[in-house]
Structure 1
Amino acid sequence: MTDIAIKNRIRDFYDSLSPHFRDMWGEHLHDGYYEHGDETKEIAQEKLVAYLAKRAQIPQGKRGLDIGCGMGATSVWLARHLGCHMTGITLSSVQVEIAQQHAEQAGVEVAFKVSDADTVTFDEPFDFLWMVGVLGHLPNQHGFLNNSPRLIKSGGRFLLADWVIAPDVSEKDKRKYVDPVLEGMLMPDVASVKNYVNWFEESGYNVISTEDIANATRKTWDEGISITQTPTILQLALELGSDALGLLSAIKGMRKAMDRGLIGYGVVVAEKR
């Protein structure tokens, strides 16, 4: 499948599913951070944003680009809590519409636009880049990171958080446990934290910190499995077609792969030289 075909499939996927995601999962599309384990999924999702912002030392009142902004909830949070001047980009026009409504309801000004992360340009570079649960959707992850310095000022922080593959996964386990998850999540591939570190360093960044927070995010998939088992969701997936059914299977597969230590949740903070 060509890069364009992959991106078109992802765009169509989120155009059709985003309103349903909002109803069953909330405004945030990403994992939750379960600090104590008894948080609701909505609180855990906001805790992830707060944790990542603190980890990256996102400064108050700065200009940020939310790459793959989904339905805009993270950009709105950063605008409300840190006074950041946010721009969010996504392939999905449906997500942009939802995100704009969310910002209006929250009483904050955030710019959302339909754009391809690989080709988008801006007149001025940003103070920081934010990319959570998105890089794995890109056909050429290395290429994106290599070209990303055009979007950020020298000394600016790049916060990357995404699912990562363990460094010692066998080909057999990858085919059996990891690849089906990637297919269901519409992710061409997934890299290791070590790969990300190397790519950042090659692209003109200094890596400030790395960690794997899979233990704190794992309950996300318990919540997901519980939701997918309801008759309403199963019927909806049947109506929406193969990609929706593939997502349900991938949610179960992600929990299994995490339990086996094959997939983690990596966080990398890098600073442009």
Structure 2
Amino acid sequence: MIVPKVPSTAADVAVHYDELDLAYRRIWGEHVHHGYWRTGRESPAEAADALVAEVEARLALEPGQTLCDIGCGYGATAARIAARHDVDIIGLTLSAAQEKIANARPSPRFTCLRRDWLHNDLPDASCDRAYAIESSEHMVDKARFFAQAARVLRPGGRLVVCAWLEGEGARAWEIRHLLEPICREGRLPGMGSRADYVNMAADAGFSLRDYEDASARVRRTWTICLQRFAGSMISDPALRRLALSPRTQNRSFILSLPRLILALRTGAMRYGIFLWEKAGPPIAPASNAATGR
């Protein structure tokens, strides 16, 4: 586990996304996650939606199920899944800016709550499926992340996690100059390895059903972001002010764009897609118990 020398809290993560809200939406769009390139010919928007499709396929959704989107961002992923399936989704985010946009979506089967997943207060066994797309990295206590997922999911429930991971065998210089700064600048309290995630999930009662190292399919994301950021610094005065203002606490994340490109190229950082299943036979879903509808 990579742990930066400067610790990050849930409050730090909330400030990061609230403060950089303008940058995230203008540079990348409504999805706060990587794109997934199957052929290499997809547009960035198509690639972002392709990652959602990868998550959907692993969830194996059935009509009437209740899902939890752990770290739902602006709600784009949840809204798309709810539009394509007869399911209800409850999303959690730490960011006030994200909550506002997520709840403004015309998606009656999706509800966003501003709440810390580690203290989510959702009822036991209230969800059939859960997914976390690049949010587990922001969890201060990753073992508790899995324990809460096991508590909230019904027996036989599925958990899909897309995660930034420490590469196996990352060299000392890569840890010092790439991974630790990425954690610090991106407000990641820690970056686990594939083995760390597998072990913590097993301790929480999950069985691993599938894993994909999608590093090569997603790494184009950061080259596109860096190119767009460079162009925006010329053409977008609001973004330029945000990036250059000494009052912007999280502007150092800009420095992580080249680090992320290099870390994914060298293998110091990996991008993994996990599918876990909670032990026990599935039980009939309750009627929208998690959302209160």
Scaled to the shorter chain, the TM-score interval is over 0.9
Amino acid at match of 2:119: T
Alignment match, 1:220: 221
Query: Which of 269, 276, 288 lines up with 1:270 in the alignment?
Result: 276
Q: Does structure 1 residue 66 correspond to structure 2 residue 72?
A: no
- 1:38 and 1:27 mapped to 2: Cα distance? 21
- 1:272 and 1:18 mapped to 2: Cα distance? 35
Secondary structure of 1:167's aligned partner: coil
Alignment match, 1:237: 243
- 2:245 and 2:98 mapped to 1: Cα distance? 20
How many Å apart are 1:73 and its aligned residue?
A: 0.6
Alignment match, 1:38: 41
- 1:84 and 1:19 mapped to 2: Cα distance? 30
Alignment match, 2:252: 246
- 2:243 and 2:61 mapped to 1: Cα distance? 38
How many Å apart are 1:66 and its aligned residue?
A: 0.4
Alignment match, 2:155: 154
- 1:67 and 1:109 mapped to 2: Cα distance? 16
Alignment match, 1:168: 169
How many Å apart are 1:51 and its aligned residue?
A: 1.3
Q: Does structure 1 residue 186 correspond to structure 2 residue 192?
A: no
Amino acid at match of 1:84: V
Alignment match, 1:53: 56
Using the TM superposition, name which of 139-148 and 178-187 deviates more: 139-148
1:187-208: CA deviation from partner (whole Å, max 9, x where unpaired): 1111111111111111111111
Query: Which of 18, 27, 30 lines up with 2:30 in the alignment?
Result: 27
- 1:270 and 1:64 mapped to 2: Cα distance? 15
Alignment match, 1:112: 112
- 2:167 and 2:63 mapped to 1: Cα distance? 34
Task: Indicate conservation of the 8 Å contact 1:15/1:93, yes or no.
Answer: yes
Task: Indicate conservation of the 8 Å contact 1:238/1:244, yes or no.
Answer: no
Q: Which has the higher contact order (CA 8 A, sep 6+)?
A: 2
- 2:152 and 2:218 mapped to 1: Cα distance? 29
Amino acid at match of 1:268: F
- 1:177 and 1:21 mapped to 2: Cα distance? 21
Alignment match, 1:11: 14
How many Å apart are 1:2 and its aligned residue?
A: 9.7
Amino acid at match of 2:204: S
How many Å apart are 1:119 and its aligned residue?
A: 0.8
Amino acid at match of 2:207: N
1:72-124: CA deviation from partner (whole Å, max 9, x where unpaired): 011101100122200001111221110011x21xx443111111100112235
Task: Indicate conservation of the 8 Å contact 2:174/2:263, yes or no.
Answer: no
Task: Indicate conservation of the 8 Å contact 1:183/1:246, yes or no.
Answer: no
Secondary structure of 1:221's aligned partner: helix
User: Which consecutive residues of structure 2, in runs of 5 or more, have no partner in the other structure?
Assistant: 280-293
How many Å apart are 1:61 and its aligned residue?
A: 3.7
User: Which consecutive residues of structure 1, in runs of 5 or more, have no partner in the other structure?
Assistant: none
Amino acid at match of 1:42: A
- 1:64 and 1:140 mapped to 2: Cα distance? 22
TM-score for both structures, normalised by structure 1:
0.92
Secondary structure of 1:45's aligned partner: helix
Distance change in 2, residues 1:152/1:169 (3 Å): same
Task: Indicate conservation of the 8 Å contact 1:149/1:203, yes or no.
Answer: yes
Secondary structure of 2:156's aligned partner: strand
Identity of aligned residues (%): 25
Q: How many equivalent pairs are there?
A: 269
Secondary structure of 1:37's aligned partner: coil
- 2:219 and 2:6 mapped to 1: Cα distance? 32
How many Å apart are 1:240 and its aligned residue?
A: 7.0
1:145-164: CA deviation from partner (whole Å, max 9, x where unpaired): 13331110000000011111
- 1:134 and 1:121 mapped to 2: Cα distance? 18
1:26-61: CA deviation from partner (whole Å, max 9, x where unpaired): 110100011121222111111100012113323344
Secondary structure of 2:97's aligned partner: helix
Amino acid at match of 2:244: L
- 2:176 and 2:27 mapped to 1: Cα distance? 30
